[in-house]
Structure 1
Amino acid sequence: MDVLFIEDDTIETMKLQRTVSKLQLKHNIIEAKNGEQALEILKSSTKLPDIILLDLNMPRMSGIEFLEIIKADPNYRYLPTIVLTTSENRADLLECYRIGIAGYVIKPLRYEDYEAKLKTVFEYWQTNELVKA
């Protein structure tokens, strides 16, 4: 799968890379440091990502602002977007689902728990018919 990973924290990026490597996943991870950079990547790519993993708390453009933009665009509206965040704020969760996310995953503190959650996310989306279409 092609995965657009939008995250401003270098440590979180390293955690994702480590997890993908450790699980021996062959996914192509495209990294963006913020929503603005992610929009540039989407607009300049000839192929859309299969899924987007999105942090909510970022500089310049929040994850919610990014979601509002892509879900309003007919070219990107149906891209499965999974929020990967530390925010346990119920208002954030509900707002993200209102806008149209495919999932909301809270980043756990322990690496082993993070790895297990990411494994589940990747396994689900590898078998999902929308990604295969």
Structure 2
Amino acid sequence: MNKNGPVIIIEDDSEDKILLKEVFKKHTYPNEIIYFSDGQKALDFLIEEDVLPFLILSDINMPKLNGFELRKKIYEDARLQEKCIPYLFFSTAASQQYVIDAYSLSAQGFFVKQSTFGELEKTIVLIMEYWKRCAAPNNF
């Protein structure tokens, strides 16, 4: 985890993407925000680019490679695993089984997308502040 690295957001819903952009714009975090509309594009980026992201916020239901499939591929890739990138699910598709599946893949969190801008903002701020304070093996 690189606290100054980019935040990777994997989101295929254009309205959710607009709201997330507004939250990050309002709070002016120093991290670059990189959006992908599907898991395969995000995986290609993580494999091909020499980048150490701060964290990944991933929807579940996406085209090509869904959030669970992406998490599994990252988890099984030794080179990506060494980067210690926090992987958080951020989805409206919340069920007990989805949460169990997420944590079975060693996700570091599962957050339900809030329906109002204010609640979405609170969640994003909480996530960012938590991970900014968290230590990771590659921070030393």
Q: Same fold (TM over 0.5)?
A: yes
Is 1:70 aligned to 2:70, yes or no?
no
Alignment correspondent of 1:57: 61
SS of match in other structure, 2:136: helix
Matched residues in 1 for 2:137 and 2:95: separation?
29
CA distance in 2, matches of 1:132, 1:115: 28
Secondary structure at the aligned position of 1:76 is classed as helix
Corresponding residue number in structure 1 for 2:117: 111
Equivalents in 2 of 1:120, 1:8: separation in Å?
23
Aligned mates of 2:7, 2:134 — CA distance in 1: 14
> Could you list the runs of 5+ residues in structure 1 that have no partner in the other structure?
none
TM-score (norm 2): 0.89
Runs of 4 or more off by more than 2 Å in structure 1?
Answer: none
Distance (Å, rounded) in 1 between the aligned partners of 2:125 and 2:138: 18
Give the alignment's Cα RMSD to 1 decimal.
Answer: 1.4
Aligned residues: 133
Structure 2 distance, partners of 1:102, 1:85, is 14
Contact 1:50 1:131 in 2 (8 A): no
- Structure 1 residue 7 and structure 2 residue 11: aligned? yes
1:1-133 residue pairs with structure 2 within 5 A?
1=4, 2-77=6-81, 78-130=84-136, 133=139
Deviation for aligned residue 1:24:
2.2
Letter paired with 1:109 = S
Q: Secondary structure at the match of 1:66?
A: helix
Shift of 1:132: 6.8
The AA in structure 2 aligned to 1:15 is: L
Q: Distance in 2 between matches of 1:60 and 1:37?
A: 9
Q: Aligned equivalents of 1:125 and 1:9: distance in 2?
A: 25
In structure 2, distance between residues paired with 1:88 and 1:47: 30
TM-score under structure 1 length normalisation: 0.94
